[in-house]
Amino acid sequence: MASLLWGGDAGAAESERLNCHFSNLVHPRKNLRGIRSTTIPNIDGSLNMEENDEDDVVDLAANSLLNKLIRQSLVESSHRVEVLQKDPSSPLYSVKTFEELRLKEELLKGIYAMGFNRPSKIQEMALPMMLAHPPQNLIAQSQSGTGKTAAFVLAMLSRVNALELFPQCLCLAPTYELALQTGRVVERMGKFCVDVEVMYAIRGNRNWCFKRKLIDLTKIRVFVLDEADVMIDTQGFSDQSIRIQRALPSECQMLLFSATFEDSVWQFAERIIPDPNVIKLRKEELTLNNIRQYYVLCENRKDKYQALCNIYGGITIGQAIIFCQTRRNAKWLTVEMMQDGHQVSLLSGELTVEQRASIIQRFRDGKEKVLITTNVCARGIDVKQVTIVVNFDLPVNQSEEPDYETYLHRIGRTGRFGKKGLAFNMIEVDMLPLLMKIQDHFNSNIKQLNPEDMDEIEKLEY
């Protein structure tokens, strides 16, 4: 019975307590059976639970898991894929169907049983490289919802020999929640594969497995580093990953995936993955051309709310997202709108990841018309029905200067998929200079709106 092993951790806050030294894991142990973790701890609420007036700061691991939970089906990215081959003279293959990959019948059945009808864009380019003989190393930039987990799971399952009774594939994820998510994909895709088991090495179970020296790294055939940008942001994981890589055999296939390709990720990837093929997403070009932007001058928070009510009552709204800079403002605004009879949900960083995912799904399903949020929701969430974005507070950085990137991603929640959108900025007089900096930065026109002029407001949707 062959095994695949998943390593996970509980996040940066616990990395010291759960730190494992992998250099002592290279001793062989035969006849290792699949070990299943039957007791799965709840998400531990590692996010800050205290009431405060600061911006929500959500760690990379939590954001990564949130994206996995809210993107249950494949999201066909509009990004263009750029492929850099280690051998530029080699033909570049892509596939349009899974049959072209000449997979084992049990794997093909598993893919279709999961509801995959055809490869996603990232899979079209990545799978021929990942399934090639001899195995090829790969560094790929891919976000949640693009099918990258299914791609590397397929690669691992295709390399496993069920007659050899030891772990043959190792996948590292930065948190135990992400490890469980990936392991479940393996179990679903591999349900027709006889005698292939998943062993979860998470938290206490992880330490137990490694201390008993149940894993011979010299026999690992596929090594996957998932969410590499989160991994290197988490204390201890970068060094641990390097120690594992040094113990792996030269013929082991190395696969690294990251949502971002910042310099730190590139340096880490080049250090750990020899002679890779590289798949990159060309930088997203967010545009404001189809979003009309307005600002309303207000005296205080209550004045902002009254202006918001005038706008909300004067135009037809599909759904709206309202951004606040602090949790306190977000909670206050939620109470005010609910008391006025509006269908409102609140999304902020003190909620668990699963709670946030549930709120976003309810909003996506139209059960609430207004989502009030801090910067937790500033990017990555596409809801087609959103026609209005409101900046109840302008986004600013720690230097009290405009946070241009956050502003761009906030108002980018409307105007999705080529549709027109409206963005309103509720501005107190002392914040007007910052708004003018934003206008100049994006070379866009942000018009002043009088919230008392209902005729002007009613014209906005036409």
Q: What is the mean pLDDT of residues 10-23?
A: 31
Residue 70 has a pLDDT of 57
Topology of the domain comprising 2-281: Rossmann fold (3.40.50)
Confidence of residue 219 (pLDDT cuts 50, 70, 90): very high
Same fold, 2-281 and 291-458: yes
Cα–Cα distances (Å) from 356 to 69, 347, 362, in that order, read: 9, 6, 10
pTM over 0.85: no
Is 86 buried (19+), middle (13-18) or exposed (0-12) by CB count in 10 A?
A: middle
Q: How many CB atoms lie within 10 A of CB 41?
A: 12
End-to-end CA distance of the chain: 65
Confidence of residue 110 (pLDDT cuts 50, 70, 90): very high
Please give the Cα distance from 452 to 16 (Å, whole number). Answer: 57
Residue 29 has a pLDDT of 29
Domain 291-458 class, CATH top level: alpha beta
pLDDT digits (tens, 9 = 90+) for 341-375: 888 999 877 787 778 878 888 888 888 888 998 87
Confidence of residue 23 (pLDDT cuts 50, 70, 90): very low
Q: What is the mean pLDDT of residues 58-81?
A: 57
Please give the Cα distance from 459 to 462 (Å, whole number). Answer: 6
Give the domain ranges of the chain: 2-281, 291-458
Average pLDDT in the chain: 75
Please give the Cα distance from 421 to 384 (Å, whole number). Answer: 11
Please give the Cα distance from 124 to 281 (Å, whole number). Answer: 14
Q: Taking 50 as the threshold, does the pLDDT of residue 22 lie above it?
A: no
